[in-house]
Structure 1
Amino acid sequence: MPKNIEQLLSQVGLLPSESKVYLGALELGPSTVQHIAAKARISRTAAYEAIELLQKRGLMSSSLSGKKRLYIAEDPHRIVSYLKGEQQKFATTLEDIEQTIGTLHLMSGGIKPAVKVYEGEEALPAYFDQLAKANPSAMYEISNLDDVYAHLETETIQASRKAVSWKDIKTLRLLHRGEIRHRRDDVEYGMLDESFGEFHGDISIYGDFVSMMTFIGRPVVVILESKSVADTMRALFNAAWDRTRRA
């Protein structure tokens, strides 16, 4: 029995046992299930199950010859007819699903945000790698610079920053607590006063991403991808930016 034909039948949706039974019955002509099972080299039970499935697909039929029931493989052209019917069903189902995508999103509460967490030595490089992949035109950051300088080596920060093409980011705004030690000409700075409360760590908003970092103890970076969350955080950042003194 040609293996390539079995594989082809499997690719169009037939189970391996169905392929063996159909091809075996096609070679034998009208035959009993015992003969078909022997030809297909499968058990009689498996042959019965395969025949039942093939009959539902319209690819096998049966007839009585005396007291014996014989099974007949339908003409191979029936496979083409079967596939065309399945293709039409699939096209109709696909169209129905496309029309219900909005309803499905509502049922699931909308598109779920993707969250990635990095810890330890991989945390900072992972943050800058994600920023480089996002390649945003604007970036907004809130940071406690005292935490950054106290818990991260300057060399570590500079090495990780090399992954990003900073010239492509046209708008860079930083709301900060603490002293600026390495001022950059391409960054706009805003000083957070005491009224904003105590906080530790860093939050960055860029594209559809929000990254949250803490450097006290073991460094942890949480990167969340969600347009709605990023838009909300940008709105909050802009509200705070309008209230701050430019540094």
Structure 2
Amino acid sequence: MDDQIFAQLGLDIRAVSIYRSLLSLGPSPIRTIAERSGVNRGTTYDLLKQMQQQGIVAYLPKGKRRYFSAREPEVLLQLAEERKTQLDQTISQLKTRIIPELHHLKPDFSAANVQFYEGDAGIEQVLRDILSQVSQQDDKQYRVFSSKPIRPLLYRPFPTFTAQRIQRGIHVRVIAIGDGGESAELSERKWIKTEGPVDAAYIAIYPPRCAIISLASDNYPTAVVIDSQEVAMAQKIIFDTLWGYI
């Protein structure tokens, strides 16, 4: 766990070993630091230069030699806060400028607007996309057609989906095909009664996208996501009209 924390600060296990060695040694030359940390001398020198640029270590010239010393551990928190600020700025630029500019490069419709997913990992990607897209909209609501056979398998790869949906304040309306299914918080459900078995299918409508999830043989899930405002809005009209009649 500590290795992951340091890695997020841009420090690999060798750099951490050098930093820990410096804390215990005090001001020391490269050779001594390399021997204590177990990192070869050339790599130690390169990492010390990198850590100096990050503000984690400092050096003091003594004659023709450099003696390096570690700054107080609180500097790591400062480094993390700087990275967080940079990341927040990056997210803001992505949302307000870069992503809209990249979208303008796309044609109105192409093969790239239809994406295919399969397996549990693919279905998880689709479910996460639903949460991501809807949470950015003013009207945080999406619509779903769902049949009974797919329900036990749908959230298998993402068991916290409903909890995360509720946490983000996202509403959902569900038209259930066949019996079964229960309403959860921030959800409404209506049923279309059928006779006999129904095929496994789940259609999520979250303009500008529409996701269609079904089961192949051996309950292997597959999905198609259509990124088209026109298609999604047409499906939304169909859903809302049917919702009013049930």
Normalising by structure 2, report the TM-score: 0.50
Kept after mapping to 1: 8 A contact 2:204/2:212: no
Structure showing greater radius of gyration is 1
| 1:51-200 aligned within 5 A | 51-100=48-97, 101-108=99-106, 112-116=113-117, 129-130=149-150
Gaps of 5+ in 2: 120-146, 156-171, 183-188, 215-220, 239-246
**What residue number does 2:225 align with?**
225
Q: Which amino acid aligns with 1:30?
A: P
**CA drift at 1:113:** 3.8
**What residue number does 1:30 align with?**
27
Taking only the aligned residue pairs, the percentage that are identical comes to 16
SS of the residue 2:69 aligns to: strand
Kept after mapping to 2: 8 A contact 1:206/1:230: no
**Per-residue deviation, residues 147-172 of structure 1 (Å, max 9, x unmatched):** xxxxxxxxxxxxxx78889xx66569
- State the alpha-carbon separation in 2 of the partners of residues 210 and 10 from structure 1: 36
- State the alpha-carbon separation in 2 of the partners of residues 117 and 20 from structure 1: 42
**CA drift at 1:59:** 1.1
- State the alpha-carbon separation in 1 of the partners of residues 173 and 16 from structure 2: 53
Distance change >3 Å, CA 51–CA 109, structure 1 → 2? farther
* Worse-superposed segment, 28-37 or 89-98: 89-98
- State the alpha-carbon separation in 2 of the partners of residues 85 and 11 from structure 1: 12
**CA drift at 1:104:** 3.3
**Per-residue deviation, residues 3-41 of structure 1 (Å, max 9, x unmatched):** 96x665345432211111111112111211111011111
Number of matched pairs: 181
**What residue number does 2:161 align with?**
none
- State the alpha-carbon separation in 2 of the partners of residues 212 and 94 from structure 1: 30
Kept after mapping to 1: 8 A contact 2:115/2:226: yes
Kept after mapping to 1: 8 A contact 2:148/2:176: no
Kept after mapping to 1: 8 A contact 2:150/2:202: no
Q: Which amino acid aligns with 2:74?
A: H
Tell me the C-alpha RMSD between the 2 structures. 5.1
**What residue number does 2:166 align with?**
none
**CA drift at 1:212:** 11
Kept after mapping to 2: 8 A contact 1:129/1:163: no
- State the alpha-carbon separation in 2 of the partners of residues 52 and 18 from structure 1: 11
- State the alpha-carbon separation in 1 of the partners of residues 77 and 204 from structure 2: 49
Distance change >3 Å, CA 44–CA 233, structure 1 → 2? same
**What residue number does 2:142 align with?**
none
SS of the residue 1:30 aligns to: coil
Gaps of 5+ in 1: 119-126, 141-160, 173-181, 184-203, 214-220, 237-247
**CA drift at 1:137:** 5.1
Distance change >3 Å, CA 222–CA 37, structure 1 → 2? closer
